[in-house]
Every structure is written in structure tokens, then in C-alpha cells.
Chains A and B, each alone.
Chain A
Amino acid sequence: KMVPDSGAVFTFGKTKFAENMPSKFWFKRDIPISLSCGDEHTAITTGNNKLFMFGSNNWGQLGLGSKSTVNKPTCVKALKPEKVKFVACGRNHTLILTGGGQVYATGGNNEGQLGLGDTDERSAFHLISFFTSQHKIKQLSAGSNTSAALTEDGELFMWGDNSEGQIGLQNITNICVPHQVTIGKPISWISCGYYHSAFVTTEGELYTFGEPESGKLGLPPKLLVNHKVPQLVPGISEKVIQVACGGGHTVVLTEKAVYTFGLGQFGQLGLGTFTFETSEPKVIESIKDKKISHVCCGENHTALITESGLLYTFGDGRHGKLGLGMENFTNQFVPTLCSSFLKYIVHLVACGGCHMLVFATPRL
């Protein structure tokens, strides 16, 4: 059998791996725990708490001490004394959390997105001294030039580019150290898109902020003047569980459905061939009968995992990033089942600028 019972990581689109052909790999005595894609780079953390990186490296976003492109998963040896728990890739930078509760950053830093107090780029992981083990971080997220860390207690910290209010500050263009973003309620989920951000409260409300154009904040026009502060998205009646922000679109998982809004010119909203933009959250009707457990956005594409471990993708089909074929590609305007994973259980998916990674194990 080709893939071991412990599964494989499948690569699609412009990954730099296997000459950008759809491919796969696995670890000899290890399994992936988290996957993340930046614009052109990819990161994987494993059960043995190792960090593997590959892809473009122009800003040092791979943290390997150089800026050369890496075309196969490479362990970041400098982090070996630390236990790497999970990873978040921004457009051209990377954040990791260690077992000791520390956050490290590497890569592009033109807006202070590394949280190191300056705007000098790094090609190796540097400790963000702001965070201590007391913060108990449970999620990291990174956008174009933005970074976010969310704690178990529901406290959200963000740093980097604020030119559009995407880290929730009113009057400054960027900040080089973490600052707390609060609406007075605990927060349970954060997603940084390219130029906008969104979070979910433990009560299940959705808030958005950042670049106001093309409906990606899901807010009525009269609220857009305040786009630099988190605002409650009306129009979603049930409890929100997750949110994912892409380049120009936003995908929301609730207890009952998947909602999308923003730009959908390539199909990334999954709302069919007549809705290329909406500022009003709309339910994807075609998957209403499916139980979705995870939503993920690349710049212009979207992936959904069902509770039973099936994968649906839609949006920009260029370079094969939707995982739907070897060489003939097209945009998908509704969620489309990745039939090559019918014999697998999909556990993790990550979408980047022009690529997608999937971790799946064979159905036994």
C-alpha cells in the first residue's frame, strides 16, 4: 500500500515541493499535528514537537537561517531544544508556540509583525519577550503583515500592520509589540486575513475589522466608517464556532451552517455562479446537509472538512490548488468534494496563496 496507516501530507498547487506537481510525503516515526500555509511557504508541526518548513524564503520566513527557497520539508534544528506545539504562517512571516508557552517569530517584519519591537526582518526564529508561560496561548494566527495570539482565558493580542485597522487600533499605522484587543468579552477564535481580521467570542458572536472594501467585513455600509475597531457582524442568528479570513473573503462556521461574505469572483464564497460579491453573510445552501468541522481560507480559495473526514474545496482553481485534478483546472463556484480523499479521513487542511496542504489517513 502506498500510504502508511499513520497517513500522509498531500500537497497541491505551487508548494515548491515535487516541482509543484500534486504529491505527498510522510514522516518516518512522527505525525503532523498542525499545518499552516503562508502566501508561498508552508509549516508543519509534529507529534514529536518538531517544526518542518518549506517553500519561498525571500524574507527568511522559513526560519532556517538563510533566505534560499527550500523545496522539501526541512526540520528547523535551531528550535530542537524547544518543543514546538503549533505554527501560524502569515503572508511572509511565521509564528510558533513552544511547550514552554513562548512565542517565536521569523520572516518579513516591515510593519513590526514579528513583535520584536522593531521592523528588521529575521531569517531565524526570535523570541517575542512579551509572552510568558502565564499567557497560556491556545491559538496563533497571522495575516499579510499582522500577527495574533489568543489565550485560554480569551484574551487576544495582536501586532503588526494597522493601516486598515486590521489589528483593531484607531489612530496608528502599525505597532511592533503585542497589544491587547478587547471588546470586554472573552474571545474563543481568531483569524487574520490578508488585510482584514475576525474573531469569535465564547458566546458565539462574530466580530470583524480591517479593510472595509468588497463586503469582506460582513457589515452593513453604515458601519464601515468604524472599520478600524472590531464590530459585531449582524445577520448570523446562531452561535458562531470558527471564522477564516482569506484575501478578500470571510468564511464562518456556525452550529448549523457555513456562511460566507466578501469577494467571490473566483468562486471562493461557494455561493454559485451568480454571486461574485456580498457584504451580507449568506449560507452555503449546497452543503447544508453536511456537518462541517473545520473551515480554512487561502487568498482566493476555501476548504471545508466534514465531521466524517471528507474534504470540500472551492474558489480559484489555478495551479491545481483545489486538489481536484492533475493538469486540467477550473474555478469551482460551489463546494466540490475532493474525490481523491474518499478513501481517506482528512484531519487537517491549510490553504495558502496558491497552494493547499492536506493531512489524511487511510480509511481502514
Chain B
Amino acid sequence: DSDEIVTPVSQKCPKADSEKMCIEIVSLAFYPEAEVMCDENVEQVYVEYRFYDLPLSETETPVSLRKPRAGEEIYFHFSKVIDLDPVEQKERRQFLFTMLIGEDPEQGHLKFTVVSDPIEEEKKECQEVGYAYLELWPMLVSGRDILEQDLDIVGPEDQATPIGKLKVSLQAAAALQAIYKEMTEDLCS
């Protein structure tokens, strides 16, 4: 039959949901009244997070975007799949378990940092303008991935007054549940 199409056998079969996680830095906005909005030194920003052994070059947005104007959202759509293979990435799974039980430095939170990236690099230095925190434990309990959730961004000095919001997605519920189960079984046995 000449209608037939040919599809080469796919080389890679997709990893099970429990053996990977995906973090997306979706978008960022600052509140109009936030000090950063009138800070001329902040011209463009990027966002980064840290994950165990991954180099920052893989966990920071590859571009800096112009600082959002009042009422404007800027979009990174920066998503990264992190391999959590039970054999090859045992240490990452162990690390996530310590995060789940809150015994990591950020006490169970994935911390995102908003960084000001000066345009003329010689003159100024990169400067942290705010932080956003995503708690992992509720995700384990609910078993639901996080889709485009707004996190408060707080400034370095005043951790009580939000200066904006960072939108993130996290697909990790299946992996977190599998990791928690296997680690607690290990503890009990």
C-alpha cells in the first residue's frame, strides 16, 4: 500500500515519571510599589536555583530579560528535566529525601534566586534582588504536580514583604512519592 508511512523505531523510550523531575521557571513580575521597580541599577534579571550536583549553568535561565514594567510579566519558560534514575542517580534521590524531611540547608524548600544582571558588566556586579521558596512536602502529601504556581518573591533584607511573584511548575510528585517510600522502607528495615 503506497499510503503507508514509515516511522523509524524510536531509540529512546521515555523515562518513568518516578525516575525524573521537571522544573520550569515560567515567568516573573514585580509589584509596582516594590523598590526594585525604581532601582535604575536593576536593568535586566535572570533566575537560578540550585540542585545538588548540577552546575549553575544548567539551573539558571540561559538569558536575562529586561526588568518587567509595572503590571508586566516576563516569560522565561525555562524547563529542565532532572534525571533521577534509581541506579545512576542514587545520591540525587537521597538529596531529595533530605529535602522532603526538611534536613537540607533550605529546610525542605527549593529556593529560587532572582538576580540582577548589569548590562555593562565591567561597571557593576550581579546582585541578588529576591528569593522565592517552593515547599516540597505538600507535593508529597497531595501527590499532585505543581502547575504554574505563583510564589512570593521577597527581598534580601525584608523577608516579610513580597516584592513580586515568580511563576513555576514542578513535575515531581511521582518521583517524590517513590523516593519517600523507598527511603522510609530502608529506615524501617
What is the CA–CA distance of A2 and B2 in the complex, to the nearest angstrom? 20
Is chain A's interface secondary structure helix, strand, loop, or mixed overall? loop
CB pair B5 A25 closer than 8 Å:
yes
Instruction: Contacts A29-B2, A330-B76, A330-B79 given; indicate if A273 touches B8 (C-beta within 8 A).
Output: no
With an 8 Å Cβ cutoff, the count of chain A residues facing the other chain is 33
**A72 interface contact, C-beta 8 A:** yes
**A151 interface contact, C-beta 8 A:** no
* Candidates A25, A28, A274; contact of B66 at CB < 8 Å: A274
CB pair B61 A330 closer than 8 Å:
yes
Chain A contacts for B2, CB-based, 8 A: 28-30, 48
Chain A contacts for B74, CB-based, 8 A: 265, 276
Chain A contacts for B8, CB-based, 8 A: 2, 24-25
CB pair B10 A318 closer than 8 Å:
no
Contact with B along A316-348 (1 / 0, CB 8 A): 111000000011111101000000000000000
Chain A contacts for B6, CB-based, 8 A: 25-28
Instruction: Contacts A318-B77, A330-B61 given; indicate if A19 touches B14 (C-beta within 8 A).
Output: yes
What is the CA–CA distance of A330 and B74 in the complex, to the nearest angstrom? 13
Instruction: Contacts A25-B7, A316-B77, A327-B81 given; indicate if A273 touches B14 (C-beta within 8 A).
Output: no
Chain A contacts for B177, CB-based, 8 A: none
Instruction: Contacts A23-B10, A24-B8 given; indicate if A75 touches B3 (C-beta within 8 A).
Output: yes
Contact with A along B45-75 (1 / 0, CB 8 A): 0000000000000000111111000001111
B113 to chain A, nearest CB (A): 17
A-B contact count (CB 8 A): 76
Q: Nearest A residue to B64 by beta-carbon distance?
A: A273
What is the CA–CA distance of A28 and B72 in the complex, to the nearest angstrom? 50
A233 to chain B, nearest CB (A): 25
**A52 interface contact, C-beta 8 A:** yes
What is the CA–CA distance of A326 and B11 in the complex, to the nearest angstrom? 12
CB pair B79 A328 closer than 8 Å:
yes
CB pair B4 A28 closer than 8 Å:
yes
**B111 interface contact, C-beta 8 A:** no
CB pair A265 B73 closer than 8 Å:
yes
* Candidates B5, B65, B76; contact of A26 at CB < 8 Å: B5
Chain B contacts for A328, CB-based, 8 A: 79-81
With A26-B6, A29-B2 given, can you name 7 additional A-B contacts, CB distance below 8 Å?
A: A19-B14, A25-B6, A27-B6, A28-B2, A72-B7, A273-B64, A316-B75
Query: Which residues in A have some Cβ–Cβ distance to B below 8 Å?
Result: 2, 18-19, 21, 23-30, 48, 50, 52, 72-73, 75, 265-266, 273-274, 276, 316-318, 326-331, 333
Query: Which residues in B have some Cβ–Cβ distance to A below 8 Å?
Result: 2-8, 10, 12, 14, 22, 44, 61-66, 72-81
